[in-house]
Amino acid sequence: MLNVGKIENGIVLDHIHAGRGMSIYHHMELSKMECPVAIIKNARSNAMGKKDIVKIETDADSINLDVIAFIDPDITVNIIKDGELIEKKRVPLPKEIKNVIKCNNPRCITTIEQGIQHMFYLADSRRKIYRCEYCDEKYTEQESDW
Ligand SMILES: [Zn+2]
């Protein structure tokens, strides 16, 4: 497999559904980070056929894993410290997501007014349904979000 160099300290997000690597990049706001970030698209995977991988070289504690689980709960998070893999885990769906997605209801206060936090709560974990904290509108994935 393509190797974009080992990282000494940071996280490797593995088993991302092919095509969602850029979505991770976008929602985690990695463009704003100063640290090295590598996105590998369409890596070969025995289990998945194709997958994306994201490597972020930074303090693992500073990364918001809730966002990762929301975008793709099947992602494996590998935490690397001093060049060693110290933890490998899946992240459960967050109970709440803040400022990651936006409400689609045109009458929602978050659509009308500026500067309000976009908050969603997990309404149904089995079906992965999130609702707006303010108007209860169900969040549905938009093509443009991915
Ligand atoms: Zn709303």
Q: Look at residues 69, 70, 67, 53 and name the one whose alpha carbon lies nearest to residue 18.
A: 53
Q: Which parts of the chain register pLDDT below 70? A: 1-5, 142-146
Distance 94 CA to ligand 1 centre (A): 18
Q: Which residues pair with 43 in a beta bridge?
A: 51
Distance from the alpha carbon of residue 136 to the mean position of ligand 1, in angstroms: 6
Alpha-carbon span 83 to 80, nearest angstrom: 6
Distance CA(12)–CA(73), nearest Å, equals 15
Contacts of residue 108, defined as CB under 8 A and 6 or more positions apart, other chains included, come to 132, 134, 135, 137
Q: Tens of pLDDT along 22-31?
A: 989 988 888 8
Distance from Cα 135 to the centre of ligand 1, integer Å: 4
| pLDDT of res. 1 | 46
Is residue 66 within 8 A of residue 120, CB to CB? The reply is: no
Domains of the chain in sequence order: 10-90 (3.30.70.140), 96-141 (2.30.30.20)
pLDDT at 3: 55
Let me know the angle formed at the C-alpha of 7 by 73 and 3, rounded to the nearest 5 degrees: 80
29-32: long-range pairs with CB below 8 Å, 24+: 30/54, 30/56
Residues lining ligand 1 (ion), CB within 5 A?
103, 105, 108, 132, 134-135, 137
Token pair 């092919």 is found at 18
User: How far from each other are the two terminal CA atoms of the chain, in whole angstroms?
Assistant: 25
Distance 53 CA to ligand 1 centre (A): 32
pTM for this predicted structure: 0.80
| Mean pLDDT across the chain | 89
Cα 133 to ligand 1 centroid, rounded to whole Å: 7
Those residues whose C-beta lies under 8 Å from the C-beta of residue 105, and which sit 6 or more positions away, are: 111, 132, 135, 137
